[in-house]
Structure 1
Amino acid sequence: MSSAKGDFSRGNVPFLILRLGLPIMLAEIVVVLYNIVDRAYIGHMGETGTFAITGLGVCFPLITLISGFANLFSTGGTTLATIARGEKNDEKAERMMATSFTLLLLIGAALTVILFAFAPFLLELLGGNEESLPYAIEYFRIYVIGTIPVLISLGMNSFINAQGFPKIGMATVILGAVLNIALDPLFIFTFDMGIRGAALATVLSQSASALWVIFFLRSKRPPLRLKRFCIDKAQLPGLLKLGATGFTFKVTSSITQAVVNVMLKGFGGELSTLYIGAMSLINSIREIMSLPNSGVTGAGQNVMSYNYGARKDDRVSACIRFILLSGLLVNTLLWILMLLIPEPIIRIFTDDPELISLTVHCGRIYFGAFPFMALQMSGQTTFVALNRPKQALFFSMLRKIILVTPLTLLLPNIGLGVEGVFWAEFLSQLIGASICFSTMYFTIWRKMLHQKASKEL
């Protein structure tokens, strides 16, 4: 089995990250594009569009939870497999990949049964009201049938990227995205299925992506091949510890989204449906604004893990620097754009003037500290890539559980009203990102910089 493909210990580090990251970023752009098309079709469903887009917003916490399980078994698995490849132990890496795949199948089957059965109860608990709940149930019960394909396409695609095949990984996403974009208008309008058609299009497109991933990983092209089902008990604790970071981030995001919906429903009064709809649109915009950072950190994590396994600290340090500086630059530019001209983006999703006005106002509060997210991402990525599960897990919990959720509950009750929900995100980004990056700098990066300076003397 050859290990030449995906050797990240040589070459210019920023160029290497960009070479790996650009296909990932392009793939994610396509994902966001089909999410935009999906939500734009739903938002423009005549008189019911606003209620339908709000119903979709009610589903977000559960959809986020499902993707969290993909992170649980793929983030740790990918990191440990990449470290093993850096150590030239491909057999160990291959067992790690097979373990991740087996666990994704098992948890996917369990989630399908549980979430389908309890969908009405959970969606009402998450903020669904008499206007939005019927749409939420229609969408989610179809979406949840595709849980296994969603987990496979999200979770196992990271093993393709980590082996140095970013274009194949990009093709995974593009395949699903193009199919979804083609099927959306057919099911929603031609077959008059409404929001159920949007869910069915998503399930079919994710199924196609999952089959593509399995076909490639079982082929002879990648160094690591998917040959069997297995659970490597020796590596399982490490997988779960590292995977817990991404999983906790998704679970805490899900909890936060649920708390946000409940608080918007409680403090929004007659406008509660509009406020939940505005938050749904803000979440869609955040996906767009997070794309550049996501692509760079995803590629940077793989390069860091490989060089950490190969004991090349100077290249690890170069990865951290590039992720940080590129993130600060791009996030600041996007933040300025969001402050100055948010309306054209919002109009993609809805033509309701009241919803547009509300989203503009609330979005400027919500994204107020967005540049600081570059600090959060560079710190968090470093902890995961360098196999520091305790720190990675803590900082996943810090912003969402320790900061944003309590602030979401507190601020509306101390005079800020419904706008306090949006101020909570601003404050949590500012505080959480600063603490995360400072800890990473003083415990990891500063030591590497001092070691490099000592060698140069």
Structure 2
Amino acid sequence: MSNSQDEKLGKENIPKLMFTLALPAILAQLINVLYNIVDRIYIGNMAGVGDLALTGVGVTFPIIILISAFSALAGMGGAPLTSIKLGSGDKDGAEKILGNATTLLIIFSIVLTILFSVFKEPLLYMFGASENIIGYSLDYITIYLWGTVFVQFALGLNMFISAQGFAKTAMLSVLIGAITNIVLDPIFIFGLDLGVKGAALATIISQCLSAIWVVNFLLSKKSKSVIKIKKENLKINKTIIGSIVALGVAPFIMQATESLIGIVLNSGLQNYGGDLYVGSMTIMMSIMQLLVVPISGLTQGVQPIISYNFGAKKYDRVKKTFRLLIIVSFTATVLGTLAIILFPNVFVRMFTQQQELADLTAKMIKIFMCGMWAFGIQMACQATFMGLGQAKISLFLALLRKVILLIPLAIILPKFAGVVGIYWAEPVADIVASFTTLIIFLNSYKKILGEIDSSAS
């Protein structure tokens, strides 16, 4: 890594460094979520059919989330390893990781586009679609799948820009796409009267522009990127791919299980409640993103600090970074949860003006979100394990909240409490998982860094 970046990640004041790197990452994540949220806001306010169209687009989320999950597998699996390599002075090793991650993203794009294009309709019915909304679902996802390769590059490769400490550049790549999406949405949806097809088209054009920006930064000899995508590094190296997948499987599962959760929640709500309840979940998941995404940006911005200093054997800086990370992330989730529970209509009315849907969502969101205050703990611990390259522990923590707790609860509770039980599954899983994660983390983290400190002294 260049001397300026070494000075920045390895020597600069921790709070100042966290602010410098995390703020652009937080803004980037918030801007990124606008791709889908702006779509939902416009779609939900379509005259006469907004509630059905919003619900129809909502049942496509498992596919969209799964596509993003594969970009996280390559990007979040490779980026921390790149930071560790750069921290230890191995630039060539870092570039080999980048090259192999790029190849993975290309493979994922081809396979996912073909599979989902072939099986989209039966999958959408499985995910909670009904005859009333399937047309909107198909219109949206058919066009969205055309841009799978842009999503993979825009999300997956952007993490390698953040991993070098270029947080502002990473933010700009997202900003380009988001602004384009915000401008094109009303033009395509209302101006050209394309409806949900227009929303999907605006999204893939926006992702295309972001992908071009990211690839150019990692290719161009004129850019500040310390590492470059090189042809010779695109050849698959089984050892490198194995390392990327081993570390990336945890964030992959974190995102992929969101897809599985969407399937379980939507199908349960359709069975116990109907389209109106599925629509309420679409809105609640969108609002939850507004809370979780900034914390995800914070952890993404801080992760290079942890990885670089771990690679450089500056363990005191690793510990200081974690302490500050968990304080900030926990405080943010507490304040965000309070705002949503106290003022639900402020958030709900952004997505719908349909009175029955708005009233149901405002009522149920107080239940659904009442455990999110604790989630900042899990996110901070998970990110730190990722930064330290602890793949196995990260994998277990990824499985804990969603697969081990949330999905079984969402299936079992409504058998006793009816449709309301599905909404209660989320807070129970959030609180149990967060505090279990903290206990596991404190024991494992102390062992990892404690043993290193002892061996170094």
User: TM range, normalised to the smaller chain?
Assistant: over 0.9
Deviation at 1:326, TM superposition (A): 0.4
Structure 1 equivalent of residue 349 of structure 2: 347
Q: Please say if residues 378 and 437 of structure 1, whose CA atoms lie closer than 8 Å, have aligned partners that are also in contact.
A: no
CA distance in 2, matches of 1:304, 1:2: 18
Structure 2 equivalent of residue 263 of structure 1: 268
Structure 2 equivalent of residue 213 of structure 1: 214
Structure 2 equivalent of residue 238 of structure 1: 243
Q: Please say if residues 95 and 230 of structure 1, whose CA atoms lie closer than 8 Å, have aligned partners that are also in contact.
A: no
CA distance in 2, matches of 1:3, 1:155: 26
Structure 1 180/147 Cα, relative in aligned 2: closer, same or farther at 3 Å?
A: same
CA distance in 2, matches of 1:34, 1:213: 17
* Residues 209-268 of structure 1 deviation map (CA, whole Å, 9 limit, x = unaligned): 001101111123211011222222221211110000011111111111101011001111
Structure 2 equivalent of residue 363 of structure 1: 365
Question: What letter is aligned with 1:442?
Answer: N
Q: Please say if residues 283 and 348 of structure 2, whose CA atoms lie closer than 8 Å, have aligned partners that are also in contact.
A: yes
Query: For 1:195-206, what aligned pairs fall within 5 Å after superposition?
Result: 195-206=196-207
Structure 1 equivalent of residue 151 of structure 2: 150
Q: Please say if residues 26 and 301 of structure 2, whose CA atoms lie closer than 8 Å, have aligned partners that are also in contact.
A: no
* Residues 88-122 of structure 1 deviation map (CA, whole Å, 9 limit, x = unaligned): 00000001001101110111011111101111111
Structure 1 421/223 Cα, relative in aligned 2: closer, same or farther at 3 Å?
A: same
Q: Please say if residues 101 and 241 of structure 2, whose CA atoms lie closer than 8 Å, have aligned partners that are also in contact.
A: no
User: Please, which of 225, 228, 235 is the counterpart of residue 228 of structure 2?
Assistant: 225
CA distance in 2, matches of 1:168, 1:451: 34
Question: What letter is aligned with 2:5?
Answer: K
Q: Secondary structure at the match of 2:225?
A: coil
Deviation at 1:450, TM superposition (A): 9.9
Structure 2 equivalent of residue 322 of structure 1: 324
CA distance in 2, matches of 1:151, 1:255: 20
Structure 2 equivalent of residue 178 of structure 1: 179
Where structure 2 has 5 or more consecutive residues not aligned to the other structure, the ranges are none
CA distance in 1, matches of 2:295, 2:397: 18
Query: For 1:78-227, what aligned pairs fall within 5 Å after superposition?
Result: 78-220=79-221, 221-227=224-230
Query: For 1:36-115, what aligned pairs fall within 5 Å after superposition?
Result: 36-115=37-116
CA distance in 2, matches of 1:243, 1:16: 25
CA distance in 2, matches of 1:139, 1:279: 18
CA distance in 2, matches of 1:428, 1:376: 12
Q: Please say if residues 29 and 294 of structure 2, whose CA atoms lie closer than 8 Å, have aligned partners that are also in contact.
A: no
Structure 1 252/34 Cα, relative in aligned 2: closer, same or farther at 3 Å?
A: closer
Structure 1 341/449 Cα, relative in aligned 2: closer, same or farther at 3 Å?
A: farther
Q: Please say if residues 3 and 90 of structure 1, whose CA atoms lie closer than 8 Å, have aligned partners that are also in contact.
A: no
Where structure 1 has 5 or more consecutive residues not aligned to the other structure, the ranges are none
Q: Please say if residues 188 and 195 of structure 1, whose CA atoms lie closer than 8 Å, have aligned partners that are also in contact.
A: yes
CA distance in 2, matches of 1:311, 1:332: 33
Question: What letter is aligned with 1:236?
Answer: I
User: Please, which of 253, 256, 273 is the counterpart of residue 258 of structure 2?
Assistant: 253
Greater shift after overlay, 226-235 or 182-191?
226-235
Question: What letter is aligned with 2:262?
Answer: Q
Question: What letter is aligned with 2:441?
Answer: M
Q: What's the C-alpha RMSD, in Å, of the aligned pairs?
A: 1.8
Question: What letter is aligned with 1:171?
Answer: L
* Residues 382-413 of structure 1 deviation map (CA, whole Å, 9 limit, x = unaligned): 21111111110011111111100000000000
Question: What letter is aligned with 2:309?
Answer: N
Structure 2 equivalent of residue 5 of structure 1: 5
Structure 1 381/435 Cα, relative in aligned 2: closer, same or farther at 3 Å?
A: same
CA distance in 1, matches of 2:4, 2:236: 27
Q: Please say if residues 40 and 350 of structure 1, whose CA atoms lie closer than 8 Å, have aligned partners that are also in contact.
A: yes
Query: For 1:435-446, what aligned pairs fall within 5 Å after superposition?
Result: 435-445=436-446
TM-score, L = length of structure 2 = 0.96
CA distance in 2, matches of 1:123, 1:345: 27
Q: Please say if residues 153 and 211 of structure 2, whose CA atoms lie closer than 8 Å, have aligned partners that are also in contact.
A: yes
Q: Secondary structure at the match of 1:47?
A: coil
CA distance in 2, matches of 1:167, 1:31: 14
Deviation at 1:51, TM superposition (A): 0.6
Question: What letter is aligned with 1:148?
Answer: V
User: Please, which of 327, 336, 339 is the counterpart of residue 338 of structure 2?
Assistant: 336
Structure 2 equivalent of residue 397 of structure 1: 399
Question: What letter is aligned with 2:69?
Answer: G
Q: Secondary structure at the match of 1:9?
A: helix
CA distance in 2, matches of 1:246, 1:257: 17
CA distance in 1, matches of 2:420, 2:94: 48
Deviation at 1:150, TM superposition (A): 0.3
CA distance in 1, matches of 2:71, 2:35: 20
Deviation at 1:432, TM superposition (A): 0.8
* Residues 173-206 of structure 1 deviation map (CA, whole Å, 9 limit, x = unaligned): 0100011111111111111111001000001100
Length, aligned pairs only:
452
Q: Please say if residues 52 and 195 of structure 1, whose CA atoms lie closer than 8 Å, have aligned partners that are also in contact.
A: yes
* Residues 149-168 of structure 1 deviation map (CA, whole Å, 9 limit, x = unaligned): 00100000011111121111
Q: Please say if residues 328 and 374 of structure 1, whose CA atoms lie closer than 8 Å, have aligned partners that are also in contact.
A: yes
Structure 1 33/107 Cα, relative in aligned 2: closer, same or farther at 3 Å?
A: closer
CA distance in 1, matches of 2:266, 2:445: 38
CA distance in 2, matches of 1:353, 1:14: 45
Structure 2 equivalent of residue 291 of structure 1: 293
Give identity over the alignment, percent.
37
Q: Secondary structure at the match of 2:49?
A: helix
Q: Please say if residues 257 and 402 of structure 2, whose CA atoms lie closer than 8 Å, have aligned partners that are also in contact.
A: yes
Structure 1 449/322 Cα, relative in aligned 2: closer, same or farther at 3 Å?
A: farther
Q: Secondary structure at the match of 1:235?
A: helix
CA distance in 2, matches of 1:170, 1:447: 32
